[in-house]
Structure 1
């Protein structure tokens, strides 16, 4: 059984903003459509070789913000702490395959790593 948070988090189509900060506090926000909540406490994110991934390596804390317009605007913030990352493996290959189907092969090839995070609500 999935939770309401998981249902909302994983609903497609959706897009959100992932915010990170470096170890010295320089912030970054980027639009991400790939995060997937695989259970009530775990989120998997695919990222390229970019500031977001660099920041997560220095400072494991992040926020994912999802907004949607229904009859009114609503959204959620999910606070996360990265547990592990990988630049190869089955999880990255699976995510790249999913991204290729949704956004094309060029978008999939830009994905360089996965980050697995625990959520803090």
Structure 2
């Protein structure tokens, strides 16, 4: 199954781990990535520590654990390629569309951050 189908059809929880240029690590809860037409993965981010880390160190790891399937999921090793602030595009990709969520996040600066997939491994087991 390709990643677009996988993330469109599979519910679960994810953690995006980043580090700054000095190697200080951060991990944050993130929803499923958006798999773009060109195969890149994209996350919607606010201007917080994860986004700041990616400005000086483009490497990240995304861990995804499938809902109701103990220890099943993916480890994705990623490299940041670009970002944009096109609010219309970001809003079109947002999965939370309840009026209360839209209102709550309306004034918060958001970024659509793109990554290339360097390596994909299962959540547990084979690989490095």
Q: Which consecutive residues of structure 1, in runs of 5 or more, have no partner in the other structure?
A: none
Q: 1:23: how far off?
A: 0.8
Q: Give the Cα separation in 1 of the matches to 2:47 and 2:2.
A: 32
Matches within 5 A, 1:1-121: 3-39=1-37, 41-70=39-68, 72-96=70-94, 98-101=95-98, 104-105=101-102, 106-107=104-105, 109-110=107-108, 112-121=110-119
Higher-Rg structure is: 2
Q: Give the Cα separation in 2 of the matches to 1:71 and 1:87.
A: 35
Is this contact kept in 2: 1:99–1:107, CA < 8 A? no
Q: CA RMSD in A?
A: 2.5
Length-normalised TM-score, structure 1: 0.79
Corresponding residue pairs, total? 118
Structure with greater proportional helix content: 1
Q: 1:31: how far off?
A: 0.3
> What's the secondary structure of 1:100's corresponding residue?
coil
Q: Give the Cα separation in 1 of the matches to 2:38 and 2:83.
A: 19
